[in-house]
Structure 1
């Protein structure tokens, strides 16, 4: 295989194909994430998400975001062609919004850590 190939993932749950996720651009990331989440006083959650980042357009494609259940079988196959259009594309975050998010996080951390700062 050529190093110029775009790689992606064909994802199936219990034998049913959910997507053929991939991005045809010079710089990108495609991820398949399985979460088993347990929180205090909330129901357990099992999730599968397939998403990515097109670094050329700064867009965030999403192919799959669904709940799983005990016994589900997930199959992920590496593919290099015939990618499907994502179900959703989140637009780029503006520099202003990114700065606002960072400042909000900074103030939150500063408050949480105030007893530990010199």
Structure 2
């Protein structure tokens, strides 16, 4: 089995998380969002989250507000990883996902029937 990859994230040189999962079906997201609005409000944030596809869970490792001068470092790492601080079940159930995929499959099968041998 291949080693899984994760993210080691530092804010201003201080390690804040080593996010990752030892599973074969996952999504890992480390994002910086800078938002300024016409009304003058601003949001500058760092969030580390993801999805455990095997458990159908949304995951959360870290989040903080940012300010000018903050230095964010992302490093791709192998395990060990920190456990997520929060794990919540996805609102979409697996049966609904499978039903949707089957509907797409049958639609494409019918649409492409002249090209299938």
TM-score, scaled relative to structure 2: 0.74
**Structure 2 gap ranges (5+):** 97-117
Q: Deviations over 1:74-99 (max 9, x none)?
A: 1111111110011111222144xx8x
| Residue 75 (structure 2) aligns with | 77
Tell me how far apart the structure 2 counterparts of residues 42 and 8 of structure 1 sit (CA, whole Å): 36
SS at match of 1:51: strand
Structure 2 residue corresponding to 1:11, chosen from 9, 12, 15: 9
Q: Give the unaligned 5+ runs of structure 1.
A: 99-118
1:67 equivalent among 53, 65, 68:
65
- In the TM superposition, what are the counterparts of 1:1-118 in structure 2 within 5 Å? 4-95=2-93
- Show structure 1 runs of 4+ deviating over 3 A: none
Q: How far apart, CA to CA, are the structure 2 residues paired with 1:54 and 1:42? A: 37
TM-score normalized with structure 1 length: 0.74
Tell me if the contact between 1:57 and 1:92 (Cα under 8 Å) persists in the aligned partners: no
Q: Distance in 2 between matches of 1:75 and 1:18?
A: 10
**Aligned residue pairs, count:** 95
- Compute the RMSD of aligned alpha carbons: 1.9
Deviation at 1:40, TM superposition (A): 2.5
